[in-house]
Chain A
Amino acid sequence: MGYEFIEGNEAIARGAMRAGCDFFASYPITPASSILHYMNVLVPEAGGVVIQGEDEIASMGFCIGAAMAGRKVLTSTSGPGLSLYSENIGLAQMGETPLVIINIQRQGPATGSATKGAESDIQFTRWVTSGGLPVIALSPATVEEAYLLTYIAFNFAEKYRTPVFIMANKEIGVTKEAADLESIELPPLVERKKVPSGQKEYLPHLFEELDEVPAISDFGGDYIARYTTSTHDKTAYLVTKPDVIQEMIDHYFAKIENAIDDITLVKEDFQEGAETLVISYGIISRSAAVAISEARAKGIKISALVLQTIWPVPEKVIKAAMKGIRKIIVPEMNMGQYLIEIERLAATDVEVIGVNKMNTTLVSPQEIIEKGGLL
């Protein structure tokens, strides 16, 4: 009990450890590097393995190998590192590999402003690799949420056998806040579904229903295991038959899209009779909270929806929040990457206003008030 004054990156590391992370491979990059520093102490002390790769490609390769050998795996990076992860993220999707990827976003593109925050990678994460498969991405708004959502990311990764992203921001990763991590209520820990013993053989991608997540047998476990980067059937052997390939692709989509209610995490602050709605995520949801309370103080009725899950888009919840709404304000620390998702969901007669800025500084409450017409 009691508070600590810690940065988001420490909370992320401790959230991972609380989820049982026992393998961490990463490559230093500002502003994510301190996650390496915490994990390089925490993981070995818990009996796990940590290694700093020669680059992000190697780090992600280590993670995939270790995850398939039964480890609970974390890696961390920022925009330029995510670019290098891209190819192997596709492999992790193909092989249905559980792992958690932390992205402490910074101002991009390229090297950008290495020490400054932004939400550069929102759409990049959605379409992070070839193939366009759905991804799970969570966005924390506070140090405490960074801890909670990292823990939950492990649950999602294990449950759905897929890479899960934490889309934080320099403004959370290296900002210190008073946090009481031990008092945070956590959902039960989820472990990957294992193939029961006594089976004739292990089929790495076995499912009855398309959305069923296949049980896993680790490399070095009770069964001969296979893993492949190529289009494959349930045995993980390469196939070229279009109907088999399509079935596997449908499976990848279904296992995440049909689980959207389970994956959806939002915070709602609705006001009766409000015709204005602010939809936000991450650090900027906090600027939005200030703008909203100032607007309400002036008598403006206004509702707020904060998305902790940003991918897959929590469409059902967003559409429900849009009922009776005439104006939607979407503030972001980028040039409108999530705005396009809200625009496609909003009715044509609803005004959708993006409050966008990508100059390394936070979108302020005042900017939301002014550009959102809340004066």
Chain B
Amino acid sequence: MSDIKYKSYMTDKIGPLPFCPGCGHTTLINALDKALVELQPDPKDVVIVTDIGCIGLSDRYFTTNAFHGLHGRSITYACGLKLARPELTVITLMGDGAAGIGGTHFLNVARRNIGITLLIGNNFNYGMTGGQHSVTTPTGGITSTTPWGNPEGPMDLCGTAVAAGAAWVYRATTFDKDLPDVIKTAIEQPGFAFVDTWELCTAYYMPRNKLRKKELFGLLDSYGFSIGLQADSPRPEYSVKYMEAYEQGKSVIKKKPRIEAQHPNSVTRQTGIIIAGSAGQKIRSAATVLAEGSIFAGLNATQKDDYPITVQTGHSVAEIILSPDRIDYTGIENPDFFILVSEDGLKRTRPKIQSLPETCILYADETIELPETKAQVRRLPFRKLEKAVGKLSLSTAAVAAMLEDSGMFPIEAFGLAIKSFQSEKIAEINLKAVTAGAELTSKSSKIG
């Protein structure tokens, strides 16, 4: 050992570790140093991550990189560092207080198996703030905040980690001679490794509860807890799994075609269109291809959707604005066209329909019972059409009916959008729906 490069990973410039006489943290930190000396990593490749609590005073004593963060969040910073640079050795030091406030991070790092090492100095209370009870304080334990004995039950950190799926878990005490070896083995694990080290808080918990070495082991016995390995079930580390999943998956980015104006239009001012129907009727898709078709016809367009958080149930309402100019205000106060294809749509938009201006043309399925409205109503057999074109293409057909009737831009531009942006199979069905829908309002059929 005489020719090793790094004899210690602790600085000798700022004196000894700052902990109270007899504090277990000193033993734990020195054991970590010994483990690192055994492993001999370049200090630049090691990050000690700590947060708030007495043990968080320790990071400045290391000659490695150090990250001192907010209470209970050190696991998250450690994970961020590890995810960004998987080659780093990231070691997190926390107290039992941090295990409480950061409990969800503790559970989730175990579940994810991100390859950090977590060392918890577990001394059953908050030392830094004056000996309050923590999530590991034994039932009946006297602390500043449980003066008559702790009524709560303690959390078994190892058991919790195991239940959360931690790959490697070890319960230790600061009285264990092999603590440096245990920590070394933990650091060597490729996945998440956790050492729960039981220790004495000589300032608060020990004097208040007469918890010395003997009683500490008695406490372990009373819980039926063993010192030693609690889990050793290696599985691929998160970053490895992440890359595997990515490489096995196939690229899902498809370059979407760009839209260039190539059709004429007859729209002279900002025009508002509302399509109201049921979720599952592809209202939003029909609205999007209408807008895209209008851009093919040299117009500007916006689209806003309103639908419940559930799918395939309830309403679906799309608001589209078309304009030859830039669209500034995206609200539709007085719609120019309103397409109503189902009762769900009516339920959602009833007040709007009741207040439609007489300039608005309302295309409504012939079977829907409409409220009183000033709009010019065009009754169309959308539901009958549904049988021919299918439920998923009904709204496309209804949009085609409106488009043919209004003459805002050629139906070909609408078709071009469908061909450009929908999958071949869906486009084929929808193009048939466009033809069928346009027939409902075409001049020839009206004359006929």
Contacts and interface: CB of A to CB of B under 8 A. Distances in A.
Contact of B44 (A64, A222, A228, A238): A222
Contact of B87 (A41, A220, A227): A220
Chain A binding surface SS class: mixed
Interface in B243-272: 246, 251-253, 256-260
Contacts of A54: 104-105, 107-108
B307 to A, nearest CB: 9
A230 to B, nearest CB: 7
B301 A69 contact: no
A2 B258 contact: yes
B77 interface: yes
Interface string A266-295: 000000000000000001001101100000
B70 A51 contact: no
B77 A364 contact: no
Contacts of A115: 306, 309
B305 A174 contact: yes
Interface stretch (B27-35, B61-69, B137-145): B61-69
A224 B63 contact: yes
B68 A229 contact: yes
Nearest to B289: A5
A24 to B, nearest CB: 11
A44 B246 contact: yes
Contacts of B295: 3, 5, 178
B328 A177 contact: no
Nearest to B44: A224
Interface in B3-51: 43-45, 47, 51
Interface in B287-314: 288, 291-292, 295, 300-306, 309
Contacts of B75: 61
A44 B242 CA distance: 9
Most chain A beta-carbon neighbours within 10 Å: one of B60, B252, B329: B329
Nearest to A46: B253
Contacts of B253: 41-42, 45
A367 to B, nearest CB: 10
A226 interface: yes
Contact of A219 (B65, B68, B107, B256): B65
Contacts of B242: 49
A303 B120 CA distance: 62
B81 A57 contact: no
B226 to A, nearest CB: 30
B291 A65 contact: no
B108 A65 contact: no
B351 interface: no
A362 B328 CA distance: 12
Nearest to A47: B246
A160 interface: no
Nearest to B303: A176
A285 to B, nearest CB: 9
A5 B60 contact: no
Interface residues on A, range: 35 or more
A223 interface: yes
A178 B79 CA distance: 39
B422 interface: no
A1 B260 contact: yes
A219 B259 contact: no
Contacts, number: 195
A61 B251 contact: no
B85 interface: yes
Contact of A65 (B67, B68, B252, B292): B67
B163 interface: no
A144 B58 CA distance: 49
A210 B63 CA distance: 28
Interface string B86-103: 011000000000000000
Given A5-B292, A44-B246, A69 B330 contact: no
A308 to B, nearest CB: 16
B444 to A, nearest CB: 31
Contact of B260 (A2, A176, A228): A2
B104 A65 contact: no
**Band of interface residues on B:** 35 or more
Contacts of A1: 258, 260
B68 A66 contact: no
A312 interface: no
A207 B77 CA distance: 25
A341 interface: no
Given A3-B259, A224-B64, A364-B331, A91 B83 contact: no
Nearest to A181: B258
A176 B85 contact: no
A286 B329 contact: yes
A365 B80 contact: no
A235 B328 CA distance: 50
A58 B105 contact: yes
B70 A69 contact: no
B84 A229 contact: no
A289 B288 CA distance: 26
B333 interface: yes
A69 B79 contact: no
B78 interface: yes
B184 interface: no
Nearest to B60: A237
B133 interface: no
Given A3-B295, A5-B292, A227 B67 contact: yes
Contacts of A68: 67, 80-81
Contact of B84 (A49, A174, A227, A362): A49
A358 B111 CA distance: 42
A226 B305 CA distance: 48
B303 A61 contact: no
Interface in B373-420: none
A366 B332 CA distance: 12
A221 B65 CA distance: 10
A5 B83 contact: no
B386 to A, nearest CB: 26
A238 B331 CA distance: 53
A332 interface: no
B333 A364 contact: yes
Contacts of A35: none
A115 B94 CA distance: 39
Given A175-B330, A229-B70, A5 B259 contact: yes
A64 B80 contact: yes
B171 interface: no
B134 to A, nearest CB: 19
A60 to B, nearest CB: 8
A180 B258 CA distance: 9
Nearest to B49: A65
A139 to B, nearest CB: 16
B302 A58 contact: no
Interface in B321-344: 327-331, 333
A51 B257 CA distance: 29
Q: Enumerate the 5 nearest inter-chain pairs by beta-carbon distance, A residue then B residue, closest first.
A: A65-B80, A61-B76, A2-B258, A69-B84, A66-B84
Interface of A: 1-5, 23, 25, 30, 41-42, 44-45, 49, 51, 53-55, 57-58, 60-71, 87-88, 91, 114-115, 171, 174-178, 180, 219-230, 237-238, 283, 286-287, 289-290, 361-362, 364-366
5 contacts: A41-B252, A64-B80, A65-B81, A290-B328, A365-B329
Given A3-B258, A178-B295, A287-B328, 4 more contacts: A175-B304, A178-B259, A229-B68, A361-B331
